[in-house]
Amino acid sequence: MSDVATTPRRIGRLDLVGRQLDYWVTVYKRTWRGSAVSSFVMPLLYVTAMGVLLGGFIEQDPSTLEGATTYLAFVAPGLVAAHAMQTATGETMWPVMAMIKWSRTYYAMTATPLRPSDIVAAQLLFVTFRVATACGVFLLVLAAFGVFASPGGLLLAWLAQILIGLAFATVFFAFSAILKNESGFAIVYRLVVIPQFLFSGAFFPIGNLPPTLEWLARLTPLWHGVDLTRMLLLGTVDLPLALVHVAYLGALTVLGWWFAASRLTKRLAL
């Protein structure tokens, strides 16, 4: 028998994140039915109600609809981008609060070699999966209505939804890690999520707003996401503006990711 003790293999950070991601996938396999309606059925209802039924009463010159030939073609990209925001928001508010306050699972996780930054990375990767699948189905629904200009634009728009989702997910993860209780979520929905959904260009061009509100709308992440999605799906890409959208959403994602890891680290140290 050898007297030389075997040295345990060191587990890398990517391995730890991967194992943590496997936890989220396992949970989702057991609970996906609860999100099936909101993720996959609601998009079809939204498109039918807002784009087909309501859109049938709206006739506008394409120049007033940012190049869209029909109201359905105009509103559909906005609905997709808003769906990415809502999916990311739902996955990083109550779930994060639950893991900190109610089930306290994060505390158990950090009793292992996992760091708070690993927890954030794994959960955001899961959010990426949720946004990618939910918006992918939404875009396939839209494909049946023929509202996109090319398959390449459709693929790029799908990738844009992941970026939109991450931009919101990182910020709301950080916000949820700060809150002491869930009462702040109602304020966020009323003052942040719903106003962006209504006034960020999803349902009408923001040029119809008063100048001050139009300026404020252009500062919101959802407007950048809506405009980027619309130009990709309609084939009306303004490259400099598209790069501005990507840079804005990318910067928000990076800053939000750092802030989320920082806030969670401090919260779990209390």
Residues in contact with 133: Cβ distance below 8 Å, sequence separation at least 6, in sequence order: 39
Closest CA to 229 of 28, 49, 84, 52: 84
> Six-digit token pair at 77?
């990209």
| pLDDT tens-place values along the chain, 270 residues long | 445 445 445 667 778 788 777 888 888 888 777 777 766 677 777 777 776 666 666 666 656 677 777 888 888 899 999 999 999 999 999 999 999 999 999 999 888 888 999 999 999 999 999 999 999 988 988 887 778 888 899 999 999 999 999 999 999 999 999 998 888 999 999 999 999 999 999 888 898 899 999 999 999 999 999 999 999 999 999 999 999 999 999 999 999 999 999 999 999 987
Residue 237 CA to its chain's centroid (Å) = 22
Give the pLDDT score at 56: 65
Model's pTM, two decimal places?
Answer: 0.89
d(CA 168, CA 225): 11
d(CA 139, CA 148): 9
Give the pLDDT score at 69: 77
d(CA 197, CA 218): 13
Amino acid at 68: A
> Six-digit token pair at 87?
């999916």
- Kindly provide the b/e burial profile for residues 214-227, where b requires at least 16 CB atoms within 10 angstroms of the residue's own CB: bebbeebbbbbbbb
3-state secondary structure the chain: CCCCCCCCCCCCHHHHHHHHHHHHHHHHHHHCHHHHHHHHHHHHHHHHHHHHHCHHHCCCCHHHHCCCCCHHHHHHHHHHHHHHHHHHHHHCCHHHHHHHHHCCHHHHHCCCCCCHHHHHHHHHHHHHHHHHHHHHHHHHHHHHHCCCCCHHHHHHHHHHHHHHHHHHHHHHHHHHHHCCCCHHHHHHHHHHHHHHHHHCCCCCCHHHCCHHHHHHHHCCHHHHHHHHHHHHHHCCCCHHHHHHHHHHHHHHHHHHHHHHHHHHHHHHCC
d(CA 83, CA 134): 8
Give the pLDDT score at 1: 46
Residue 236 CA to its chain's centroid (Å) = 23
Give the pLDDT score at 220: 96
